Every structure is written in structure tokens, then in C-alpha cells.
Structure 1
Amino acid sequence: MIGLIGIVTIFAMVFGGYLAAGGKLAIILKSLPFEMMMIGGAAIGAFLISNDMHAIKQTVKDITKVFKGPKWHHDDYKDLLCLLFELIRLAKQNPVAIEREIEAPEESEIFGKYPKIQADKEAVALIADTLRSASMNYDDPHQVEEVLEKRMETNLHSALHSSHALQTVADALPALGIVAAVLGVIKTMGSIDQPPEILGKMIGGALVGTFLGVFLAYGLVGPFAAKLRSVVEEDSHFYSLIREVLIANLHSHPANICIEVGRQNTPAHCRPQFSELEDALKSIRKDAA
């Protein structure tokens, strides 16, 4: 919602200010289809050249994140901590039982309590692989932490590709606007014998290209890239929390201490209160009794 408000504000302030200053939209509207064809078409073509099909599809899909915002919210972080508590406690009490949970998480009763997390393949794989490493005696916390860190860096780099692709387009748009403007000037010079009022409109139409390139770059595509990067980095905290909790578990801390480590490492605006989380964990203990 806030993204749509931002877009409306941009258009209202830019074109509202132009009209308030006595400008006329007729010349812009007349030139807009042709300038958009040149600038927008060239930008799309450059985007297609510089990305493979997977990246193109992913970028188109990721644009919705600008309006949807982060995937993970306060309740999701609380659910994640509860899920990890159940898994860690089970791993300490019954190592054989935990193997059944992590080998088939899609059939797991514990994972099934948290369907949103269960549906996220990377979160489930991260949890299962780390718990499996402990069961295989690959339990040096520092080694596991290094492996997880590299894995999450790789995933974050891949997730940020859409933002980088959009930012590349944003950086190119002003120059493409100049290209369109130069073509407009060339057209104008071919009609140099026309009256001044005709030439004025033609020059104005050519300058629409420069305006459009800069406007699209800094008013729309650039902010889209920045917002997308912000959302991806925000969501990455969810996976970092998994790492922190499971590494604490490898240090042989009690389950409740591991969960408190995770709670403390949760972003402030998503962090559940201690009493709130404790009530949720008490409910889990009561159900297990």
C-alpha cells in the first residue's frame, strides 16, 4: 500500500508542480508514446541482454515484493522460535525421533504446526541440514557456523540479483533519455526551415526524452531497486536467526537458552517479548506433557 502511495505522490508532485507553474501537458502527451517506445524499449532490450531467462523471471516475480514488503513478520519469528525449541528439545531427548522429523519435514508433525515455515524450502533445508550435521558428529560449532555463513551469503547474493538488475536499468535510463533527445534534435534539424513556433514544439518534444529517462531512473526504477534490496535483506534476518539458534544448540546450551539467543538476535520490530514467547513455549511444554 505504501508503495502505491509513493508512486501516486511522485506523479502528483512532479506533474502537479509542472501544471501549477503554467506548463502544458499537450506537448508531453504527444511525444510520450514515441519517447517511451525508444527509452523503455531500449531499457527492456538491455535488460534482456544482460540477464538469463531465470534471472528475468525472478526479477519480474520479485517486483511484487516492492508492494508486498517482507515475507516474514512478528508472528513468523515467534513461530520459528517455537519450532526450533520443539526440534532442539526432541533432539536432546530422542535422537532417533529427530531423524524422522528432519528426513521427511513435509510429513513432520512438528513442522506441520507451522505451515508457512514448512512451505519455505530454504528455511526447512537449513534447519534439517544443520540438525543432521549434529547427528553425524559434525558438531564443531565453528565449522558448522562457517558453512552456514557461506551458504547464506550465497543465497543472499542470488536473492539480490533482481535488485542489482533493476539498478543497472535505472543507471542506464538517463543515458537512454539523452539518446532519445538527440534523435529528436536530429529530427528537428531536418526541419530547420519551419517557423519558430513549429521548431519550438519539436525541440520541446525532443527534451521530453531527457526528462523521461531521468524521471524513470530516479522516480521509479531506482526506488524499486532500493526497496527490493531492503526487503530481501530484511527477510535474510529470518535465516540468520536459524543459524544463531542452531549454533547455540551445538554449543550444548539448554533449549530455552538457545531460543533466547535467537530472540535477542531477532530484528527489534519483529522481536517477540520475553513474556509473549515464554507463554508460547509453556503451551508447547504443556501439550507435550
Structure 2
Amino acid sequence: MFQIIGMVVVLAMVFGGFALAGGHFNIIIEAMPFEMMMIGGAGAGAFLIGNSSKTVMKTLGDFGKIVSGPKWNTKDYSDLLALLFQLTKTMKTKGVIALEAHIENPKESSIFQNYPRILKDHFATDFICDTLRMMTMNLEDPHQVEDAMEKQLEKHHHEASAPAHAMQSLADALPALGIVAAVLGIIKTMGAINSPPEVLGGKIGSALVGTFLGVFLAYGFVGPMAARLKEIYDEEHTFYLIIQSVLVAHLHGNAAQISVEIGRGSVPSKSQPTFMELEEALGNIQTEA
């Protein structure tokens, strides 16, 4: 919602200020279609040249996140802590054999099925199961496990953040593409150098619309959108860091309840359950069990 309001404010303040200063829109309106064709078309082409098809499709697919925000909500973080509590509690009290039934086929697991949104996230599910599987194979050095998890997280975050980097590269390129459009406009103007001053003035004004559009789009829209996407990807990455925190804490020999409390400390403040809320949720799980 705030993003839409921000876009309206940008447009209103820039063009409203131009109108109040006595500016006339006729030159901008006449030049806009051609300048947008050159700048927008060149920007789209450069975007396709500079990125893989996977990044291009992911950027288009994640565009809605700029307004909707991260995919994980408060309940998802509570569910994650509850899921990790059940898995680590099972491993500690019932042993590796009891845990294997859940991590070998999580879709059929009675534990995982209670948390369908987490189960639907392939990386989260695989990350949990693969790490627990390593533990069952006697890889019990917390530092080794943490290092292996860190490498997986870095790779995933780098790949997931590709659209934000791609959009930022586009934002960096747009001012230069605006200059390209302006130079072409000046070339066109020089071809009519013998025209009256009022005609030359109109042609120069049309050329400068290209520079304006390139800078305006870069710093008013595309750059902020890239920054917003990066912020969202970073927050979504926190979800997976919590998995690492809890499982490493478990490897250090902590009780399941202590391990998830350590993980709770990594939950973003706006989505973080209180100590008592988590205590009550875990108590309900133990009662049902």
C-alpha cells in the first residue's frame, strides 16, 4: 500500500511542481511516446541481455512482492518454531529411527503435514531434512554442520536475490539510456539548424525529455523498487537463518525448548512471538502429543 502511495506522491510532486512553476506539458506529451520507446525499449533489451531466462522470469514473478511484501507472516514463524521443536524433541527423546520416518518422506510425515505452508517451500523442507539427515549420519560437530548450512544459505540467498540486483543494474543504466535518447534528439535538432528559434526550442525541449525520463525512472521508480525487493529477500532469508540457529543449538546439546527459544530471538521484531506465546504454543503441542 505504501509503495502505491509513494508512486502517486512522486508523480504528483514532480509534475505538479512543474505545472505550478509555469511549465507546459505539450512538449513532454508529444515527445513522451518516442522517448519511452527508445529508453524503455533499450532498457528492456539490456535487461534481457544481462540476465538469464530464470532471473528474468523470477523478476516478473516477484514483481508483486514490491506491494505485497515478504511471503512469511507471524503465524509462519510460530509454525516454524513449533515444527523444529517437534523434530528436535523427537530426535532427542525417541531417537534417530523415529525421526527418519519424517525426514525421508516429509510429505507423508504427520509432523510436517501440520504446517502446509512450510512444507510447500521446497528449500525450507529440504534444508531441514538434509541437515537432520546429516546429524543421523553421525555428523555431530556443530561447527561443521553450521559451516555446511552457511554455504547452502549463501547460495540460496544469492540466487533468490538475483531479481533485485538485476533491477538495480537497470536503474543504473536508465540515466545513460536517457542521455542516448537526448543525443539522438540533438542530432535531429542539428538537422534543422536553419529553423526559426521557436522551432529549435521545441526540438531541444523534446530532446531533453529523454534525459529527464531516464533519470526520473531510475531514481523515482526502478531504483526504489530494487531496494524494496532486496529488503524483502533479506527478510525472507531470515526464515531460513532461524532453521540454522535452532538446529545448531540442538547440536550443542540444548533441550528442544531452549533451541527454539534461541531461534525465536532471530525472528523479525514485527513477527516475533513473545516468550509466553511460544511457551503456550509448545505446551499445546506437548499436550496433544
The answer, yes or no, to whether TM exceeds 0.5 is: yes
In structure 2, what residue type is equivalent to 1:147? A
Structure 1 CA distance, aligned partners of 2:118 and 2:4? Answer: 28
For residues 16-165 of structure 1, the aligned pairs below 5 Å read 16-94=16-94, 95-165=96-166
Describe the superposition over 1:221-271 as per-residue Cα deviations: whole angstroms up to 9, x where unpaired. 111111110100011110000000001111121111101111122222221
For residue 63 of structure 1, report the CA deviation from its aligned partner: 1.8
Structure 2 CA distance, aligned partners of 1:156 and 1:242? Answer: 14
Task: Name 1:167's counterpart in structure 2.
Answer: 168
In structure 2, what residue type is equivalent to 1:39? I
Task: Name 1:230's counterpart in structure 2.
Answer: 231
SS at structure 1 position matched to 2:111: helix
Structure 2 CA distance, aligned partners of 1:3 and 1:106? Answer: 37
- Between 1:95-104 and 1:279-288, the stretch displaced more is 95-104
Structure 1 CA distance, aligned partners of 2:104 and 2:19? Answer: 64
Structure 2 CA distance, aligned partners of 1:37 and 1:269? Answer: 42
Structure 1 CA distance, aligned partners of 2:167 and 2:178? Answer: 17
Describe the superposition over 1:93-135 as per-residue Cα deviations: whole angstroms up to 9, x where unpaired. 2222211111111111111111111100111111101111111
- Between 1:211-220 and 1:261-270, the stretch displaced more is 261-270
Q: Which runs of 5+ in 1 are unaligned?
A: none
For residue 216 of structure 1, report the CA deviation from its aligned partner: 0.6
Q: Which runs of 5+ in 2 are unaligned?
A: none
Count, aligned residues: 288
SS at structure 1 position matched to 2:208: helix
For residues 170-185 of structure 1, the aligned pairs below 5 Å read 170-185=171-186
SS at structure 1 position matched to 2:195: coil
Task: Name 2:260's counterpart in structure 1.
Answer: 259
- Between 1:68-77 and 1:214-223, the stretch displaced more is 68-77
Structure 1 CA distance, aligned partners of 2:75 and 2:82? Answer: 10
Structure 1 CA distance, aligned partners of 2:12 and 2:61? Answer: 27
For residue 2 of structure 1, report the CA deviation from its aligned partner: 1.5
In structure 1, what residue type is equivalent to 2:65? K
- TM-score between both structures, scaled by the size of structure 1: 0.98
Describe the superposition over 1:179-198 as per-residue Cα deviations: whole angstroms up to 9, x where unpaired. 10011011111111211111
For residues 192-211 of structure 1, the aligned pairs below 5 Å read 192-211=193-212
In structure 2, what residue type is equivalent to 1:240? L
Describe the superposition over 1:32-69 as per-residue Cα deviations: whole angstroms up to 9, x where unpaired. 00000001111111111111211111111122211111
Structure 1 CA distance, aligned partners of 2:115 and 2:52? Answer: 35
Structure 2 CA distance, aligned partners of 1:106 and 1:54? Answer: 27
- Between 1:137-146 and 1:56-65, the stretch displaced more is 56-65
Aligned CA RMSD, in angstroms, stands at 0.9
In structure 1, what residue type is equivalent to 2:16? G
Describe the superposition over 1:192-212 as per-residue Cα deviations: whole angstroms up to 9, x where unpaired. 121111111111101000000
Structure 2 CA distance, aligned partners of 1:106 and 1:219? Answer: 45
- TM-score between both structures, scaled by the size of structure 2: 0.98
